[in-house]
């Protein structure tokens, strides 16, 4: 029999800090009120979009360390990656810090990949504290993967809008906060989609594969989670995932949603929704973390998705493989504590 894809973190590594920084357009989107910092200028004071992307990663890492109330010297390792060739945003961001670095590439699934590796190192008592981070920028992704921005190309309805933003979290062996209890490693899945303007369709089969593996390995189903959230399948891709899962006899209900599909408001003209490493990274490190910390969510299945193609692969006629890694994150609050938080919240609302 095939080995399990899911691992259980017995020591339940804790997410002790998180931070999100986004561009002006993202700030006006549906998660606007949840982000830690919204840029006024998407160049972030730099002379290139690539340097702005790097600077967002640096800010996210610094912000997460601050939020965790630790010092940079307490950090053992940074785990990060991004969409740019040779993940320069992450590597050059790492140059600013005096801790070790592991570069990762899982395309838009990178937030999950960094958290899985980080949680594994901490669960195994090899390290005490790691920072996980990723980000993306509309203008760097657009010109690297598609067309020069100046061209003003038309965008088909299946296309998604790369999120300008970066997220980071600090995972530690001790402290308080949501805990990572399990992870499911994803396989590379390719259903033969070749349209680079339809990433959602390319990634949905990978999301299905990982979700099925997770439910099988853990003997759980959709109802066992307060929130099941995929990365950046977008409006079309998340519909495809719902269909694919239904074909497998599993009905995804109201507790399922997709970061990309939720990201922008209807009038923002982003067609199929948000995408990019920054998409699920900024949603997780703002909205999802806040709800976990407040006890509004008890158990979340976080499933960022990635499309693993490059322009070279596409030019050579290859289809687009997808990948999806999953993490189970649970809040560490007792029912008592959740009740208290709810009471204090309703008090605040009255005042």
3-state secondary structure of 179: strand
Using CB under 8 A as the binding rule, the residues of this chain from 174 to 193 that contact a copy of itself are 185-190
Of 23, 81, 165, 276, the one binding a copy of itself by CB under 8 A: 81
**Which residues are 230's β-sheet partners?**
258, 303
Helix (H) / strand (E) element for 322: namely: strand 322-324
Least distance from a copy of itself to the Cβ atom of residue 107, Å? 7
Least distance from a copy of itself to the Cβ atom of residue 146, Å? 14
Residue 4 tokens read as 């399990």
Of 101, 175, 222, 332, the one binding a copy of itself by CB under 8 A: 101
CA-derived radius of gyration, the chain: 19
Using CB under 8 A as the binding rule, the residues of this chain from 248 to 287 that contact a copy of itself are none
Least distance from a copy of itself to the Cβ atom of residue 21, Å? 21
106 alpha carbon, distance to own chain's centre: 11
Cα gap 184→6, rounded to integer Å: 4
Cα gap 92→88, rounded to integer Å: 6
Q: Closest Cα to residue 13, out of 204, 183, 194?
A: 183
Site membership for a copy of itself, residue 34 (CB under 8 A):
no
End-to-end CA, the chain: 59
Of 20 and 90, the one with the shorter C-beta distance to a copy of itself is 90
Query: What is the phi/psi pair of residue 220, to 5°?
Result: -115, 175
Residue count, binding to a copy of itself (CB under 8 A)? 65
Of 161 and 185, the one with the shorter C-beta distance to a copy of itself is 185
- Dihedral of the CA atoms 233, 210, 178, 252 (nearest 10)? 60
Cα gap 49→62, rounded to integer Å: 20
Of 13, 200, 205, 321, the one binding a copy of itself by CB under 8 A: 321
Q: Closest Cα to residue 83, out of 348, 266, 307?
A: 307
Least distance from a copy of itself to the Cβ atom of residue 125, Å? 8
Contacts of 271 (CB under 8 A, 6+ apart): 155, 156, 157, 158, 159, 160, 161
Least distance from a copy of itself to the Cβ atom of residue 105, Å? 4
Of 38, 52, 65, 77, the one binding a copy of itself by CB under 8 A: 77
Q: For a copy of itself, which stretch binds (CB under 8 A), given 25-33, 106-114, 222-230, 240-248? A: 106-114
Least distance from a copy of itself to the Cβ atom of residue 184, Å? 8
Least distance from a copy of itself to the Cβ atom of residue 74, Å? 7
Q: For a copy of itself, which stretch binds (CB under 8 A), given 221-229, 294-302, 310-318, 336-344? A: 310-318
Binding positions for a copy of itself, rule: CB under 8 A: 1-5, 7, 9, 48, 50-51, 73-77, 81, 83-88, 91-92, 94-95, 98-107, 113, 116-117, 120-121, 123-129, 144, 185-190, 308-313, 316, 318, 321, 323
């Amino acid at each position: 029999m095939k080995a399990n894809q899911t691992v259980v973190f017995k020591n339940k590594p804790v997410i002790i800090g998180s931070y999100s920084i986004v561009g002006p357009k993202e700030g006006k989107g549906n998660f606007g009120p949840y982000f830690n910092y919204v840029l006024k200028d998407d160049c972030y004071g730099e002379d290139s979009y690539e340097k702005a992307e790097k600077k967002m990663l640096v800010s996210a890492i610094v912000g997460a360390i601050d939020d965790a109330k630790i010092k940079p010297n307490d950090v053992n390792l940074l785990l990060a990656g991004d969409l740019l060739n040779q993940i320069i945003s992450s590597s050059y961001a790492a140059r600013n810090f005096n801790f070790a670095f592991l570069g990762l590439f899982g395309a838009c699934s990178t937030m999950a990949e960094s958290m899985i590796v980080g949680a594994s190192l901490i669960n195994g008592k090899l390290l005490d504290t790691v920072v996980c981070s990723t980000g993306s920028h509309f203008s760097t992704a657009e010109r690297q993967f598609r067309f020069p921005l100046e061209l003003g190309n038309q965008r088909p309805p299946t296309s998604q809008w790369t999120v300008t933003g970066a997220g980071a979290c600090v995972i530690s062996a001790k402290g308080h906060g949501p805990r990572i209890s399990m992870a499911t490693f994803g396989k590379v899945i390719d259903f033969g989609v070749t349209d680079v303007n339809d990433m959602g369709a390319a990634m949905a089969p990978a999301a299905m594969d990982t979700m099925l593996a997770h439910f099988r390995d853990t003997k759980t189903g959709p109802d066992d989670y307060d929130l099941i959230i995929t990365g950046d399948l977008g409006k079309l891709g998340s519909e495809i995932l719902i269909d694919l899962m239904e074909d497998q006899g599993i009905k995804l209900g109201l507790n399922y949603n997709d970061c990309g599909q939720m990201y922008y408001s209807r009038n923002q003209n982003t067609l199929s929704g948000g995408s990019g490493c920054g998409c699920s990274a900024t949603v997780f490190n703002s909205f999802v973390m806040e709800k976990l910390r407040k006890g509004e969510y008890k158990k979340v299945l976080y499933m960022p998705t990635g499309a693993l193609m490059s322009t070279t692969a596409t030019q050579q006629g290859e289809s687009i493989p997808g990948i999806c890694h999953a993490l189970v994150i649970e809040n560490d609050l007792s029912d008592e504590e959740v009740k208290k938080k709810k009471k204090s919240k309703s008090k605040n609302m009255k005042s």
